[in-house]
Structure 1
Amino acid sequence: MDLDREPQKMAYAAAEEIRALNHRSLDIKAFYGEYNIINAAPNQVAGMVGGLYTLLERLPQSIQQASAALQHIEEQQAIRMANGDDPGEATSRALRALLDAKQAIQIAQTHLREASGVMSNMGGHFIDDDELEDADTAV
């Protein structure tokens, strides 16, 4: 974990990783696993949902810390608005929006936790070793 990077660079790196996930998972066969068989897909999809749940579990803290930083910066009167708005009023609007975003993420997190719980019991059908050797893995 490289903690020497600037927070905004970390946030954009996380966004880029999600972008890569979105592109990779366009092809359903990406979930077929190491041996390229559909039997691995239920576990692979469940793992992806579990990872997304973990992401949403961590985002509210990031938003809270961004909110605290914004509030501190405004208290130090270190904000200038390019559009002429009052910095205090603009900060209040931004803090409200961040709180709303945090609450929305927590709702989404609840739904992903439910999906992840259900999916944790999913798996592909068992394949005998003989069937695996005969299987057409080039899907």
Structure 2
Amino acid sequence: MDLNRTPSQIADATAEEVRALNHRTLDPKAYAQPGDVSDVANAVSALLQRLPQALEQMEAGLGALAGRGAIRMDDGTDVQDRVEAALVWLADTREQVQLASSAMQKATSPLSHMGGLWEDDGADVEA
């Protein structure tokens, strides 16, 4: 874990890795076995479980900046109004991610019991 990067750099790297995953799995054949789907689902589940804390800490960081008067607006709007709006939407996002995390955990349950066919199963499986 490289903690010598800024929070923005870490978030950007995370977004780029998800982008790479999306590109790599455009072809469904990227998943050679059910276990591959399960492994990715478990990793995405872990990501979703960790995001609420990141969002909560963004809320705290924004609140601290606002509390010290360290924010200005470049569009002439009221700082406090915009901070409050951002905090509401961050909290809403956190709640929605928690719901997504719960759903993803449910998806990983059946996936964890799936395996590929044995060669002697006699089933013709197209690659």
Q: TM-score range by the shorter chain?
A: over 0.9
Alpha-carbon RMSD: 1.8
Q: Which sections of structure 1, spanning at least 5 residues, go unmatched?
A: 33-40, 132-138
- Kindly provide the CA deviation profile for residues 48-70 of structure 1, in whole angstroms up to 9, marking residues without a partner as x: 11111000000001111111000
Task: State the 1:6 CA deviation.
Answer: 0.5
Matched, 1:94 2:86: yes
Shift of the alpha carbon at 1:102? Answer: 0.2
Q: In the TM superposition, what whole-angstrom CA distance separates every residue of 1:84-132 from its partner, at most 9, and x where no partner exists? A: 111111100000000000000000001100000111111111225xx9x
After TM superposition, which residue ranges in structure 1, 4 or more long, deviate above 3 angstroms? Answer: none
**In 1: Cα distance, 2:119 partner to 2:47 partner:** 33
**Greater gyration radius:** 1
Which whole-Å CA distance do the structure 2 matches of 1:50 and 1:74 have between them? 37
Report the CA distance between 1:47 and its aligned residue: 1.0
Q: Which residue in 2 is equivalent to 1:116?
A: 108
Give the percent of matched residue pairs that are identical in Structure 1 and Structure 2: 40
Count residues in correspondence: 125
Q: Distance in 2 between matches of 1:47 and 1:116?
A: 9
Whole-Å separation in 1 of the counterparts to 2:116 and 2:103:
23
d(CA) in 2 for partners of 1:88 and 1:127?
A: 65
Unaligned runs of 5+ in 2: none
Q: CA deviation at 1:18?
A: 0.1
